[in-house]
Amino acid sequence: MPVRHAVRAIADGRATEAQRLGIPAVVAHDHLALVAPTGSGKTLVAAVAACIELAVGASAPRRPRVLVLCPTRELADQVSGVLAEVLQGVGARTVSLTGSPAARKDTYALARPVDCLVATPGRMLDLIRRSTISLDDVGQLVLDEADMLLGPSFHTQTLSILEAVTTPRGRATRVLAMTATASPEDSGALQAAFGATFHDIRVAVDPSTTSPAHGSAAPGPPASLELLPARSEKAVRSALIELCSSARSAMVFVPRRADVADLVAALEDRGVAVGGFTGRSATSVRTSAMDSLRSGKVSVLVSTDVTARGIDVANLAMVVHVGLPHSAEDLTHRSGRTGRGHRPPGLVVAVIDPEEEERLREFADTAGLQVHRSGSARDVVAKLRPSDVIRRPLAPKGKDSPPAAQSRNVGAGRQARKQTRSTGAGRGHTRGQQRATGKGERRGGASRRGR
């Protein structure tokens, strides 16, 4: 099987450490736990594992031989694109099913032979309960962001799916569990769930490939964080406007769903092309906003932690944490949206109340990030690489532009805003540019290297 040819279609030929260690391991071991930094190309390891499974035999309708579980729609959408591009090169078909159940679409998508199925846990359980799919032929199971899938939010759903993955053709299903953050307890949970021993590979961040100096072109995940104290909501808003008005591209993480619509509106008022959504936003809104960020139609995406894991946006200039992240793991995953693969990292900024500074430093120490305290947003902007800076004329305060009116209905926030249909993609984005996920076969990938 021309696996190397298929992988070369989306990789640049330089294997990351996670790929160098992980690819031989998926050949040699039935069960593998791969813990590697964000953006280290773990998805390509999964693609090789899928190619190995599909090398012999043929798939049947509604009976996939490779099953990939992802915790969010956005991650499933991205992963299915990478896998489709690789597996298409070896004649295999990838189907992605995410979002709200749609029985007719599911039946149509699964009517033809399915080699690889990518799904979220909730959608997968619905398929099983409706007897739309059989997992009897699954020979390779991939858990992307395994610690999250086995965590409190998805534990019950994931275990129910594992019970449905039987032992076909007289041999056990191979399992690949991948994440950037995993504790010894997570490894124990894996072994308990499968009743088998996992070969454990842990790839640490190489200090020689990262630099605390923001101007450095060294590739890899970020190694430092800019702490920007803000005592009031007004100070937070002012800092965010300065940061987002200056960065070529940015992802902003907020603690509450209601904050998304408010911040999107404030940024639009100042002429920033911005989109936003939460986990409760419609699939079309979420997909449209992600597409707009990747294509450059918007330069800023505001969201909750729904986009914190696995999402790959090429050459992201800045990641901004508004308020204290829930944990060191969340800080790691959010910050890892920049500096992915062989790309140099952008700035990572935390805009927080000074009373939260001590706790943030503890999280940063656990995540391996050096903290630099900045006096103002302008000082932070000065540390952006010249190629990551964009100068926009700011609109006068209090004057709304037409896009600002659209942004107030981004599918998130107060109940009044939820009653109005929204594009959620910000400036210059129309409903005709939206596309739905969960519609069956995936063609092409959003990320050229995977994760």
CATH assignment of the domain containing 53: 3.40.50.300
Percent of the chain with pLDDT over 70: 78
Averaged pLDDT score across all residues of the chain: 81
Domain for residue 196, yes or no? yes
Residue 150 DSSP class: T
Whether residue 250 is found in the same domain as residue 322 = yes
The answer as to whether 451 is a domain residue is: no
Q: Residue 326 falls within a domain, yes or no?
A: yes
pLDDT higher than 90, residue 10: no
Q: Is residue 240 part of a domain?
A: yes
Tell me how far apart the alpha carbons of residues 380 and 374 are, in angstroms, rounded to a whole number: 7
Q: Are residues 177 and 302 in the same domain?
A: no
pLDDT category at 411 given cuts 50, 70, 90 is very low
- Same-domain pairing of 243 and 186: no
Residue 438 belongs to a domain? no
Do residues 315 and 197 share a domain?
no
Q: State yes or no: pLDDT of 303 exceeds 90.
A: yes
Is residue 220 very low, low, confident or very high in pLDDT (cuts 50, 70, 90)?
A: confident
Rounded to whole angstroms, how far apart are CA atoms 298 and 150? Answer: 34
In a domain, 450, yes or no: no
Name the strands in the sheet holding 347-352, side by side, starting at the edge strand that comes first in the sequence.
274-277, 300-303, 250-253, 318-322, 347-352, 224-229, 370-373
Inside any domain, residue 46: yes
pLDDT, tens digit (0-9, with 9 covering 90-100), for 86-137: 998 788 999 999 876 666 777 788 999 999 999 999 999 999 998 999 999 9
**Rounded mean pLDDT, 365-391:** 91
Percent of the chain with pLDDT over 90: 52
Number of structural domains found in the chain: 2
State the alpha helices, DSSP H only, in 150-300.
155-164, 184-194, 233-246, 257-269, 283-295
Q: How confident is the model at residue 13 (pLDDT cuts 50, 70, 90)?
A: low
pLDDT score for 167: 53
Does 101 lie in the same domain as 166? Answer: yes
- Name the pLDDT band for 56 (thresholds 50, 70, 90): confident
Question: In terms of pTM, does the model score above 0.85?
Answer: no
Residues 304, 417 share a domain: yes
In a domain, 440, yes or no: no
pLDDT of residue 179: 92
Of the residues 204, 229, 262, which one is the last residue of a structural domain? 204
Taking residues 246-274, report their average pLDDT. 94
- The answer, yes or no, to whether residue 16 has pLDDT greater than 90, is no
Q: Which of these three, 152, 181, 204, is where a domain ends?
A: 204
Output the pLDDT for position 357: 95
Q: Vertex 279, ends 419 and 164: CA angle to 5°?
A: 125
Cα 89 from Cα 246, distance rounded (Å):
41
32 and 85 share a domain?
Answer: yes
pLDDT value at position 152?
87
Shared domain check, 176 and 156: yes
Q: Is the pLDDT of residue 214 over 80?
A: no
Give me 64's structure tokens. 């996939």
pLDDT computed for residue 227 by the predictor: 96
Averaged pLDDT, 258-284: 93
Nearest to 243, CA basis, from 386, 397, 381: 381
Cα–Cα distance list, 88 to 5, 9, 192, 200, 429 (Å): 11, 10, 35, 29, 31
| Structure-derived torsion over alpha carbons of residues 347, 206, 17, 221, reported in degrees to the nearest 10 | -10
- Is residue 125 located within the same domain as residue 231? no
Q: Which of 23-32, 235-244, 411-420 has the highest mean pLDDT?
A: 235-244
Residue 12 confidence (pLDDT) above 80: no
pLDDT number for residue 205: 67
Verify that 251 and 359 share a domain, yes or no.
yes
What DSSP designation does 416 have? H
Q: Which domain, by its residues, includes 398?
A: 208-433
Same domain assignment for residues 156 and 292 = no
Q: Is residue 418 predicted with pLDDT exceeding 90?
A: no
Quote the Cα angle for 202-147-212, to 5°.
Answer: 55
Among 97-111, 122-136, 252-266, 393-407, whose mean pLDDT is lowest?
393-407
Q: Quick one: 172 and 248 in the same domain?
A: no
